[in-house]
Amino acid sequence: MSMNPSLFLLISLLLTVISTACGSKSSQEQKVADKQTAKKEVLGNFNADSAYHYVERQLECGPRVPGSNGHKVCAAWLEHKLRSFNPDTIIVQKGEVRAYTGERLPIINIMASYNRTNPNRLLLLAHWDTRPWADNDPDPTKHNTPLPGANDGGSGTAVLLEIARNLAMKKPSYGIDILLVDAEDYGRSGGFNDDGDSWCLGTQYFLDNLPYPDGLMPRYAIVLDMVGGRDAHFAREFTSHTQAKEYTDKIWNEAAALGLSERFPNRITAGVVDDHTFLNEAGIPAVDIIECDNQTTNSFPPYWHTMQDDMTNIDVNTLGDVGKTVLNIVYSPKI
């Protein structure tokens, strides 16, 4: 994914106004308010330790760069794992996309569907590939080294696997599609205005080859990206807030009802290019839950696209908070 610098500056100028609109409670006051309002039942049984293990298991495969051995091994494991959670159907999309480098990349998208014939559908999406270059690493000798991808790729995938484990035990009242997309992280570094479409190649392939019969398109989508970082906070990403506001409200309200407003602060941050960008453009409202306003960098975490994106920066509590929030959406009575 890529940050939009000009939009970030615009959002920064508006932060004061936005903060006022969203409330002016101190952090301590917000914690007290959360405890008082955290009356919502936690639905399902999201096991954060299980999600943490799924991140570890992906890293054991090695870097998941399209075409690599680690990529092949992990794809086979992900398909096997999803099948073990008893979806109605598994669709494996195998194709080829052209990277901005000119390379032809073999990609694998994997989708598990529950209540496949229900026309009311929610799409849950995460990318499982890893960036082929640590081009943001402070050590320039590592700039051509593939990333471990614990948070950027591993965390969102792990949360969706744990949600699928829950769905094997209790199906939701409407249709759920869990989609693991490939080749998200092969984009041009710094590319946004002219090179935004160099990112999220798996999602673009999916949208060009939609596996939905007539009338079974998802009503909206939730994208999970970098959702396992230590001390991570997930503000409302600008594109999500403006193009899928109804569903952004739904998610952030659910988090507040669970007492997680500190994790999901009610403020707007800059827009990013991510899988949700292309879903929204295709007419599927999509919300991106992503850490993109880190307090140190004011954008992505300091270890983004570095070799430090490993298990030392994964927090089981962050995985749990995101997982519980999304699983509560999945098990809500209405889509």
Q: Look at 16 and 238; give whichever has higher pLDDT.
A: 238
Query: Is 21's pLDDT higher than 80?
Result: no
d(CA 128, CA 153) in angstroms, rounded, equals 5
DSSP secondary structure string for all residues of 58-79: HHHT----TTSHHHHHHHHHHH
pLDDT in tens, 79-137: 999 999 999 999 999 999 999 999 999 999 999 999 999 999 999 999 999 999 999 99
HEC secondary structure over 231-291: CCCCCEEHHHHHHCHHHHHHHHHHHHHCCCCCCCCCCEECCEECHHHHHHHCCCCEEEEEC
Over the stretch 225-279, which tens digit does the pLDDT of each residue have? 999 999 999 999 999 999 999 999 999 999 999 999 999 999 999 999 999 999 9
Looking at 61-139, which runs of residues are DSSP E strands?
89-98, 104-114, 121-127
pTM: 0.90
Tokens 């307090």 -> residue = 295
Sign (positive or negative) of CA dihedral 62, 63, 66, 69: negative
Lowest mean pLDDT: which of 29-33, 164-168, 326-330?
29-33
Looking at per-residue confidence, does 5 or 131 come out higher?
131
In sequence order, which residues have a C-beta less than 8 Å from that of residue 101 and are 6 or more positions away?
186
pLDDT classification of 3: cutoffs 50, 70, 90: low
Written as one letter, the residue type at 107 is I
Residue 17 has pLDDT above 50, yes or no: no
pLDDT level of residue 1 (50, 70, 90 thresholds): low
User: pLDDT category, 23, cuts 50, 70, 90?
Assistant: very low
Contact (Cβ atoms closer than 8 angstroms) between residue 271 and residue 193: no
The DSSP code for 218 is -
107 with 127: CB under 8 angstroms?
Answer: no
